[in-house]
């Protein structure tokens, strides 16, 4: 990004809007409500609206937007469903929010190849509803009904990454509109390739700072013959984490293994009208054949018993499982409901799993010492956990305590060979930690990649590595 970038002048905005409205008619929108809704809305990060929102319907539309942006030197910020949590879609330098939510076509399902080609506005729930009758599913599940384009852009993962990987592992190829308006395919549809630099992985996780993702080829999986879900409690978070480590080492192919601390369980019980025991809790899911799942369950149970597990509850019926996982996905909202009117910010650190219990323990002591309300949920099989401290925005002491706490969580994770974000991404919120995590030379390398792909700094400026 040119160091000199500022919001465009009113004259430039007027010219850009006029040009976009002549191209897109009422799909180029400038109402304040729509612009604010296309900036960041979910956490305590400030709302910084774009100057105009364009609802694209095709790759050609995206190319046209890019050309207008380049002609007037204004930013383009790709937008999916707006469910990102670190200010990814904010427009600190104004410009054009390029909304891809109308690009919802599922272009081709290749059942024999276990892949699908979709437009970026397809959401994960839409995709899975479409696939269900074919016996196929797309596993990545960040909780929110995010768009596939946004999930690719943020390298999303979620509850079943422990078994199926993250978006990094499940994107085969992308179509991308580059900042210069050219359209590329990052790879062919073959399952693997060694033909050149990995352009696919360059764009997965690039958070709209390198180009606009306009088409995604994803790996699919057959819907497992048998699925079983369960919950069980542990005396301590460390016991739950240790049981998880042994289960994974043993090779039990857990599909999901999620930790909720007792505070989060309380919040979930209240919000989702459940009556889970208010202790450190694992939510589990097993995928496989009937016999395979039965064996996995038996093996996991034997391991869990060694770590003092109790209160086993099974949910083999689809509706019970759905209720359980919906409650897990609503954990964020359940936590927010603990203090109506307050704001929360979900932290998102990830450490080597061997350090997870220690990291969570220290975090819980920190919460206690700080007098915060801060439930914890964790993708414990990956060493990834979220803490959601709540703050009263009208109380400066509450705000200061929360912000200081958030910083300490990251410092603690980095000290344990961890990362400042396991899955939410950098956006604006985590930029300040990148130098500590990667070091100056690696960060400079990232900046040089950005400079190479987007020399004029048109794509989502003020995010990621700058």
**Residue list 144-183, contact with a copy of itself (CB under 8 A):** 154-157, 161, 165-166, 168-169, 178, 182-183
Torsion angle of the four alpha carbons 24, 26, 29, 30, in this order, in degrees rounded to the nearest 10? 110
Query: Among 128, 224, 337, 411, which residue sits at the site for a copy of itself (rule: CB under 8 A)?
Result: 224
| Smallest separation (angstroms) from a copy of itself to the CB of 48 | 21
97 vs 212: CA distance, rounded Å: 11
414 contacts a copy of itself (rule: CB under 8 A):
yes
Q: Which of 264, 345, 398, 421 binds a copy of itself (CB under 8 A)?
A: 421
End-to-end CA distance of the chain: 7
Q: How far is the CB of 83 from a copy of itself (least distance, A)?
A: 14
Residues 98-127 that bind a copy of itself (CB under 8 A): 110-115
Q: Which of residues 430-459 bind a copy of itself (CB under 8 A)?
A: 430, 433-434, 437-439, 441-443, 445-446, 448-453
Using rule CB under 8 A, residue 198 touches a copy of itself? yes
- Check if the beta carbon of residue 43 is closer than 8 Å to that of residue 345: yes
**Toward a copy of itself, which CB reaches closer, 120 or 425?**
425
* Binding residues among 248-307 for a copy of itself as defined by CB under 8 A: 248-251, 253, 288-289, 291-292, 295, 299
Closest CB 415 distance from a copy of itself, rounded Å: 11
Burial code (b: 16+ CB inside 10 Å, e: under 16) for 114-148 equals ebbbbbbbbbbebbbebbeeeebbbbbbbbbebbb
Residue 460 Cβ vs a copy of itself, minimum distance, rounded to whole Å:
13
* # binding residues, a copy of itself (CB under 8 A): 95
Which residue lies nearer to a copy of itself by CB, 253 or 310? Answer: 253
Does 423 interact with a copy of itself (rule: CB under 8 A)? Answer: yes
Backbone angles phi, psi at 337, to 5 degrees: -70, -10
Considering the complex, what minimum distance in angstroms separates the CB of residue 327 from a copy of itself?
24
Q: Which of 264, 419, 428, 460 binds a copy of itself (CB under 8 A)?
A: 419
């Amino acid at each position: 990004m040119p160091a000199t970038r500022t919001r465009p002048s009113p004259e430039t905005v007027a010219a850009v809007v006029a040009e976009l409205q002549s191209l897109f008619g009422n799909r180029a929108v400038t109402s304040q409500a729509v612009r604010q809704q296309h900036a960041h809305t979910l956490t305590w990060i400030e709302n910084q609206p774009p100057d105009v929102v364009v609802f694209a319907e095709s790759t050609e539309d995206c190319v046209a937007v890019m050309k207008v942006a380049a002609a007037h030197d204004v930013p383009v910020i790709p937008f999916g469903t707006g469910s990102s949590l670190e200010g990814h879609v904010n427009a600190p330098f104004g410009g054009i929010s390029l909304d891809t939510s109308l690009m919802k076509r599922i272009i081709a399902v290749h059942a024999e190849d276990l892949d699908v080609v979709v437009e970026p506005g397809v959401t994960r729930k839409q995709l899975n509803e479409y696939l269900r009758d074919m016996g196929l599913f797309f596993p990545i599940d960040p909780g929110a009904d995010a768009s596939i384009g946004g999930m690719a852009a943020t390298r999303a993962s979620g509850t079943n990454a422990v078994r199926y990987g993250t978006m990094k592992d499940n994107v085969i190829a992308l179509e991308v509109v580059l900042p210069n308006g050219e359209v590329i395919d990052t790879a062919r549809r073959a399952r693997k390739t060694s033909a050149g630099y990995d352009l696919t992985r360059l764009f997965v996780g690039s958070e709209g700072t390198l180009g606009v993702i306009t088409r995604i080829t994803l790996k699919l999986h057959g819907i497992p013959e048998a699925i079983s879900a369960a919950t069980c409690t542990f005396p301590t978070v460390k016991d739950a984490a240790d049981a998880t480590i042994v289960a994974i080492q043993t090779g039990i192919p857990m599909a999901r293994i999620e930790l909720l601390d007792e505070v989060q369980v309380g919040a979930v019980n209240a919000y989702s009208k459940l009556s889970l025991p208010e202790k450190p809790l694992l939510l589990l899911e097993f995928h496989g054949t009937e016999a395979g799942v039965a064996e996995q369950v038996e093996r996991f149970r034997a391991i869990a018993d060694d770590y003092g597990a109790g209160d086993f509850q099974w949910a083999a019926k689809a509706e019970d499982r759905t209720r359980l996982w919906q409650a897990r996905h609503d954990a964020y909202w359940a936590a927010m409901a603990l203090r109506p009117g307050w704001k929360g910010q979900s932290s998102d650190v990830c450490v080597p799993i061997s350090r997870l219990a220690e990291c969570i323990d220290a975090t819980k002591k920190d919460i206690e010492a700080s007098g915060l309300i801060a439930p914890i949920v964790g993708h414990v099989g990956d060493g990834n956990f979220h803490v959601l401290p709540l703050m009263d925005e009208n109380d400066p002491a509450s705000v200061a305590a929360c912000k200081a706490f958030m910083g300490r969580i990251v410092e603690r994770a980095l000290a344990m060979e961890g990362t400042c974000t396991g899955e939410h991404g950098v956006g604006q919120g985590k930029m300040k930690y990148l130098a500590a995590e990667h070091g100056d030379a690696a960060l400079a390398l990232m900046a040089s990649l950005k400079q190479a792909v987007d020399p004029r700094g048109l794509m989502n400026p003020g995010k990621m590595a700058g």
